[in-house]
Amino acid sequence: MILFKKIRFLIFALPFLAACGSSAPHVEPNWLEKPWSDIEAAAKGSTVRLMMWQGDPQINAYMHDWLAPALEKKYGVHLDISSGQGNELVKLLLSEKEAGRQQSSIDLCWINGETFFQLRQIQALYGPFIEKLPNAQFIDLQNSFIGQDFQQPVNGYECPWGNVQLALIYDSLRTPVPPRTLEALAAYCAAHPGKFTIPYHFTGITLLKSWLIGLSGDKNTLNGPFDEAKYQALSQKLWDYLRANKANFWRKGATYPESVAAMHQMFANGELDFTMSNNDNEADNKILQHVLPGSSKSFVFESGTIQNSHYMGIPAHATNVAGALVAVNFMISPEAQYQKMQPGVWGDGTVLDSKRLPEPWKTQFEQLPARLRGAIQPYALQEPAPEYMIRLFADFKKYLIEQ
Amino acid sequence: MRAALAFFILFGVLPLGAGLVYAFLYATGFIGLLNTGFTLQNWYNALISRSLWQSISLSLGISLLVSALAFFAAVYSWYYSRLLLEKRIPQALLRAPLAVPPIVASFVSYQWWSNSGVFARIFQQLGWIQRNADFPELVNDAAYFGVVVTLFYLSFPFVLLYLIDQARRMQLGAYLELAATLGASEGQIRRKLLFPMLFYRMLPTLVLYAVFLFGAYEAPQVLGRQSPAMISVLIHEKLSRYNLSDIPLAYAYALVYAGILMLLLGVFWRWNEKTD
């Protein structure tokens, strides 16, 4: 009987114990007040645990085969990379905070807008640290596509690492003239039913955000905090447009692919005429990987597409802040950014402002082949506040999938 | 005996019970970083959610359908090939699919049944369809064909192997031969002997297997639809997408799902005890 009483007590107490338990307090020196040479000295010989999305072989190759060895060789910092992105990362840091852990299981993470918003909500990020990084001098933080993440000022709590713009991909042999307006897209879908769809995923929602702004006719309309009235008015137009055309979408608009990778596969197989990516260089690097046909090209809508940056953040309870700072500083060095920007390596847009770079880097960056970026920059739209994404994601299901 | 019971409670019941209590406290606002205190709103939202009830109905329907299909297919396979199935090579072949992870089986199904898959290409080569888009929708389809086929592929060998074992223990083959000797027709043997004996013998295991299928995740995620989604997919979506304030709702969904399963299992065991 006593045994059962004890067990009954444990059943009810365990969640509380899990919620209240905490690891031993870990006190990191205040690195933001120390000279950079001290930070480099403390980082030497340490391991930085980086959590990042590892779904692309080229990105993985860049990180594992080039960046990690170079970081170890130059600064003696070992990079230990684990898989995890967006929601997994938020869940991990949220659970650590809820459990009262003082030592995070990671030191560095790859994030962007919606994750930054969520991590700031739960105060899970360390900072402000950007100004501490010597290589931050080459970044123009006044550039709203870099210094603001989903309308939120970065404020030094994450460091820009790459910059990309949403682009649609088509096969120039199958579709010589891609539709660049919503009207043209509707006509295309009517003539080629089943050949277009939107991924039910971050990239698809980014396209919907681009269209939401496009439908307003003013590219700055959604700048600033979330505006319910604007959202209601514009999203109504968006759902009207999508519902009017969904019968001509893939699977008659009753279901949508869960990932861009699935869309790439269907595009390559001929099941779809379009795929898309948040990286405007995706067509080039997927052609080099032989994932997409050589005749694949990218385009953006005349009303524009979202351009945004992705960042590196340090968890508030990271145990190797010095190592993380050194790693991030190397990631934004001209050398690492130049390597990353080459289409055969990753093709990720740089966050460095070429005007601020010393020679010979300035010339080298300017001579890199950027097949699309120059042409699409005038069509770049700023990311609206994160609430637009949350609402669009929920309403996409409510007004498009379920109706 | 007491030690075994204590071990089971400590490592079986306690973690599960603690998880359920944690989910309840989260859904009710007592814990959770973004929760602001006690609330029943998440429970209200869960109970009036059309998506939740659609998902539970769909999951229940698919789990019962697949269990029934696997059972009938296993019974017929055993009845018509029981001598062959006793041999080593067919038994080894039957065990092979048990080693295939559901996610792999799901991707294989996708490669076979999708509009750009193997069957669509064969049909196109044979001239039966003009374009691959003309191939019927058999994955991500409204009827959940792809999901049912994949779960059936994963379930059938397990059910058949279990059936072979049970039939051996019951000496079912001898009963069937005796019935035939006494003049029973093949139809009578199947209707009055084969199916009822195996059904009642295997029912508890089939019910537990259906519970396992109820919570299937990989196949519905790859081959199903977003709406209605099977229950595990729906809960995962609520837990992991962009709105952190949906997390308590996801826990409420999970508890409603767990509650319904426990209720159904409770009713079944009570009925089973009575009929025993």
Q: Give the one of A7, A114, A122 whose C-beta lies nearest to B34's C-beta.
A: A122
Q: Read out DSSP for B194-262? A: IHHHHHHHHHHHHHHHHHHHHT--HHHHHHS-SSS--HHHHHHHHHHSS-GGGHHHHHHHHHHHHHHHH
Is B140 inside a domain boundary? yes
pLDDT at A221 over 70: yes
Stretch A23-39: mean pLDDT:
83
| Domain hosting residue B132, numbered range | 49-71+86-160+204-240
How high is the ipTM of this complex?
0.74
pLDDT at residue A370 greater than cutoff 70? no
What is the rounded distance in angstroms from the CA atom of residue B41 to the CA atom of residue B87? Answer: 59
Comparing alpha-carbon positions, the chain A residue that sits nearest to B120 is: A271
Tell me the CB-side half-sphere exposure of residue A347, using CA atoms within 13 A. Answer: 24
Extract the tokens encoding B216: 């299937």
**Residues recorded for chain A:** 403
- Secondary structure E strands in A108-183: 108-111, 148-149, 152-153, 159-165, 167-171
Phi-psi region of B32 (alpha: psi -120 to 50; beta: other; left: phi over 0): left
Interface test with A, best of B222, B242, B244 (most A CBs within 10 A): B242
- Shortest Cα distance from A77 to chain B (angstroms)? 32
Domains of chain A: 30-164+308-374 (3.40.190.10), 167-305+380-401 (3.40.190.10)
Give the count of domains, chain B: 1
Percent of chain B with pLDDT strictly greater than 70: 100
Q: Who has greater pLDDT, A10 or A142?
A: A142
Could you give the 3-state DSSP secondary structure of residue A298? strand
Helix axes B195-214, B50-85, angle to 10 degrees: 140
Q: Is residue B167 part of a domain?
A: no
pLDDT at position A39, please?
A: 97
Between A113-117, A270-274, B18-22, B154-158, the lowest mean confidence (pLDDT) is in A113-117
Rg (CA), chain A: 23
Which two structure tokens, joined as six digits, stand for A227? 């505006």
Q: Specify the range with the lowest mean pLDDT, choosing from A124-133, A381-390, B82-91.
A: B82-91
Among A267, A281, A282, A260, residue whose Cα is nearest residue A201: A260
B31 within some domain? no
What's chain A's average pLDDT? 89
Q: Which of the 8 DSSP states describes residue A167?
A: E
Where residue A3 falls among pLDDT bands split at 50, 70, 90? Answer: very low
Q: What is the pLDDT of residues B39-94, one digit of tens each?
A: 999 999 999 999 999 999 999 999 999 999 999 999 999 999 988 888 888 888 88
Rounded mean pLDDT, B17-46? 92
Share of chain A above pLDDT 70, in %: 92
| pLDDT of residue A274 exceeding 60 | yes
Min distance B232 CA to chain A CA atoms (Å): 15
For A260-344, list the strands marked E by DSSP: 274-277, 296-299, 305-313
Q: What is the mean pLDDT of residues A152-165?
A: 93
Cα B19 from Cα A18, distance rounded (Å): 10
Instruction: Considering only CA atoms, give the Rg of chain B.
Output: 23
Q: Can you read off the two tokens belonging to residue B145? A: 């064909």
Residue A57 vs residue A67, higher pLDDT = A67
Residue B9 with chain A: CB contacts under 8 Å: 7
Retrieve residue A194's tokens. 């089943």
Q: What per-residue string of b and e applies to A168-178 under the rule 16 or more CB within 10 Å gives b?
A: bbbbeeebeeb
Task: Give the integer Cα–Cα distance in Å for A84 and A4.
Answer: 40
Residue B211 CA to residue B63 CA, distance in Å, equals: 7
Q: Test B243 with A270 for CB contact under 8 angstroms.
A: no
- Judge: A194–B133 Cβ closer than 8 Å, yes or no: yes
Contact across the interface for A397 and B227, Cβ inside 8 Å: yes
**Comparison of pLDDT for A236 and A2, the residue scoring more:** A236
With CA atoms as reference, the chain A residue closest to B34 would be A122
Q: Which carries the bigger pLDDT value, residue A374 or residue B9?
A: B9
In a domain, B76, yes or no: no
Q: Specify the 3-state DSSP secondary structure of A297.
A: strand
| Structure tokens given for A5 | 């009483």
Q: How far is CA A189 from the centre of its chain?
A: 29
Q: How far is A176 from chain B (nearest CA, A)?
A: 20
**d(Cα A169, Cα A300) in Å, to the nearest integer?**
9
Is a pLDDT exceeding 80 seen at residue A303? yes
pLDDT level of residue A1 (50, 70, 90 thresholds): very low
Q: How far apart are CA A330 and CA B19, in angstroms?
A: 42
**And the tokens for A64?**
């594992």
Residue A110's closest CA among A162, A71, A64, A68?
A162
Tell me the C-alpha distance between B114 and B140, whole Å.
9
Is residue A295 over pLDDT 90? yes
pLDDT at A56: 84
| Structure confidence at residue A100 (pLDDT) | 85
State whether B31 and A19 contact (CB < 8 Å): yes
Q: Does B116 sit within 8 Å of A402, measured CB to CB?
A: no
| Helices within chain B (DSSP H only) | 2-8, 14-27, 41-47, 50-85, 88-95, 102-113, 118-125, 145-170, 172-181, 186-188, 195-214, 218-223, 231-240, 247-275
Q: A336 is written with which tokens?
A: 């690492």
Confidence of residue A11 (pLDDT cuts 50, 70, 90): very low
Q: Is B185 exposed, middle or buried (0-12, 13-18, 19+ CB in 10 A)?
A: exposed
Query: Which CATH number belongs to the domain containing residue B229 in this structure?
Result: 1.10.3720.10
Is residue B92 in some structural domain? yes
In this structure, of A21-35, A202-216, A265-279, the range with the lowest mean pLDDT score is: A21-35
Question: In 3-state terms, what secondary structure has residue B20?
Answer: helix
Q: Is residue B4 part of a domain?
A: no
Assess contact for B32 and B249: CB atoms under 8 A.
Answer: no
Which tens digit of pLDDT belongs to each residue from A346-359? 889 999 998 899 98
Q: What is the pLDDT of residue B260?
A: 94
Q: Flag if A386 and B242 touch (Cβ within 8 Å).
A: yes
Q: What is the reported pLDDT for A111?
A: 93
Verify whether the Cβ–Cβ distance B33 to A97 is below 8 Å: yes
Tell me what the mean pLDDT of segment A46-56 comes to: 93
**Contact: A12, B51; criterion CB under 8 Å:** no
